[in-house]
């Protein structure tokens, strides 16, 4: 262990307590966290570290350092991806033989691999939303100039985001970051996605693990179709008469509704000035989450942020205070509504859902109670009923997914 080296922007001394002198596949059970994982060409294990969980992958040193650097860049670009923790090199076994270096990333709490999810009995609308989430992730990566090179279900994590789903990149080993991707690079990534996803679904189907009736080829093609639709909406050029300037605002609103903000527009006219063409030049994700973060300091998923902002708007309307300073209203909503709901949850139940998702579920529960009662039910009553009747039934850690991970078989990695 004397030659062990840790490369990390924020090193944790607890890393030294892990058994680096043992091959990763032989690590003792008391060190590991039993979480589902997808297929990997390398040995991957989840380990406990300083009260949290990290994913550890044995890999060549040059590949480990390259992936660590790429993940750091993606995190700076605010692209949905796992957080890199560090690289461990200089490992030697107890017999003195050298061991492969390790890449360490932080486990994305409340998440599951797509592969594990498709192994469950998914409703058709749930499967469609998973497909949409992966398509959105791929668009976001390509807009930032990232060529993935290994798009697959196993390289993607998903977590619930206000009833919808958000996808996260978990493996950047084959990735490349460019200033801009050519159409050929994007099409190559899409073809890799189509083949890999169809192949994985066929594998699940052959093993009797695929519950959905959808054909694997149709599912993989649907991801490509959704990608193309979203890409065209974000980057396509639209022409209209010069007097129809309202369509500029309409285009921006449509992009915002898709969760993208427009930073710059290229507007050109033809020779006689009769028509105008509009094309978004700079697009970025997270319009609602950035607004909520600016107003309240809450850093949550995009759909969660949209739901919380809707409740903030409802709060302003109920108080008849539309048009007042938005930051003051947001501060009052945070203390009088959001935090009050979270404080109603007993401490022993707070690990079941992250606060933003819990608040979203309380709002959903309130709507359900009001519909059943035929009149508005107070937020106070809805919280009390939710905490008493619903929250205790949720499983811990990944309850946010609506899936009990203990019921999901761990899919062992295989060498490719």
The DSSP call for residue 381 is: H
Please tell me the CATH code under which domain 112-234 is placed. Answer: 1.10.510.10
Q: Do 157 and 82 form a contact (C-beta atoms < 8 A)? A: yes
Q: What is Dmax (Cα atoms) for the chain?
A: 81
Q: How far apart are CA 222 and CA 202, in angstroms?
A: 15
**pTM score over 0.75:** no
Q: How far apart are CA 103 and CA 380, in angstroms?
A: 46
CATH of 5-108, one of 3.40.50, 3.30.110, 3.40.1710, 3.30.200: 3.30.200
The full set of domain ranges for the chain reads 5-108, 112-234, 236-285, 288-397
Number of other CB atoms surrounding residue 214 within 10 Å: 18
Q: What is the pLDDT along the chain (416 residues), one digit of tens a residue?
A: 458 899 988 888 889 889 999 999 999 999 998 776 666 788 999 998 888 899 999 999 999 999 999 999 999 988 889 999 999 999 999 998 999 999 999 998 878 787 667 666 666 666 667 777 888 889 889 989 999 999 988 888 888 766 567 889 999 999 999 999 999 999 999 999 999 988 888 887 787 766 555 678 888 888 898 899 888 877 776 666 655 555 665 666 676 666 555 544 555 555 555 555 555 444 445 667 888 888 888 888 877 887 888 888 778 777 777 677 788 888 899 999 999 999 888 888 877 788 888 898 898 898 888 888 887 788 889 999 999 888 888 766 443 344 443 343 443 434 43
Helix axis angle, 326-333 to 287-296, nearest 10°: 80
3-state secondary structure of 325: coil
How many residues in total does the chain contain? 416
């Amino acid at each position: 262990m004397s030659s062990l080296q840790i490369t990390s922007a924020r090193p944790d001394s607890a890393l030294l307590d892990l058994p680096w002198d043992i091959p990763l596949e032989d690590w003792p059970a008391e060190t590991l966290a039993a979480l589902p994982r997808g297929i990997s060409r390398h040995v991957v294990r989840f380990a406990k570290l300083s009260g949290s969980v990290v994913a550890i992958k044995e890999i060549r040193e040059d590949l480990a350092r390259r992936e660590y650097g790429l993940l750091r860049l993606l995190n700076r670009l605010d692209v949905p991806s796992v957080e890199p923790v560090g690289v461990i090199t200089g490992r030697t076994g107890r017999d003195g033989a050298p061991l492969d270096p390790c890449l360490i990333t932080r486990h994305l709490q409340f998440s599951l691999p797509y592969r594990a999810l498709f192994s469950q009995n998914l409703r058709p609308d749930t499967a469609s939303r998973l497909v949409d989430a992966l398509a959105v992730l791929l668009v976001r990566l390509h807009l930032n100039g990232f060529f993935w090179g290994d798009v697959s279900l196993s390289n993607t994590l998903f977590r619930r985001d206000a009833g919808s789903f958000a996808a996260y990149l978990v493996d950047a080993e084959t990735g490349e970051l460019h200033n801009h991707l050519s159409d050929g690079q994007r099409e190559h990534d899409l073809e890799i996605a189509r083949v890999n996803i169809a192949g994985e679904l066929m594998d699940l189907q052959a093993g009797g693990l695929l519950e959905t009736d959808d054909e694997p080829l149709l599912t993989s093609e649907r991801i490509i179709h959704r990608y193309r639709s979203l890409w065209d909406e974000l980057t396509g050029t639209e022409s209209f008469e010069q007097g129809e300037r309202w369509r500029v605002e309409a285009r921006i609103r449509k992009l915002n509704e898709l969760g993208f903000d427009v930073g710059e527009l290229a507007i050109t006219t033809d020779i006689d000035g009769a028509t105008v063409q509009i094309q978004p030049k700079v697009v970025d994700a997270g319009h609602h989450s950035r607004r909520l973060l600016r107003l309240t300091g809450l850093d949550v998923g995009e759909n969660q942020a949209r739901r919380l902002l809707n409740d903030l708007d409802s709060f302003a309307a109920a108080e008849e205070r539309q048009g007042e300073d938005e930051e003051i209203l947001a501060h009052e909503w945070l203390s009088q509504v959001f935090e009050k709901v979270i404080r109603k949850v007993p401490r022993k139940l707070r690990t079941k859902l992250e606060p933003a998702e819990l608040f979203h579920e309380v709002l959903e529960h309130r709507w359900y109670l009001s519909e059943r009662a035929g009149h508005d039910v107070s937020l106070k009553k809805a919280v009390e009923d939710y905490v008493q009747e619903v929250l205790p039934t949720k499983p811990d850690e990944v309850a946010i997914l609506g899936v009990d991970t203990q019921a999901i078989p761990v899919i062992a990695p295989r060498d490719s």
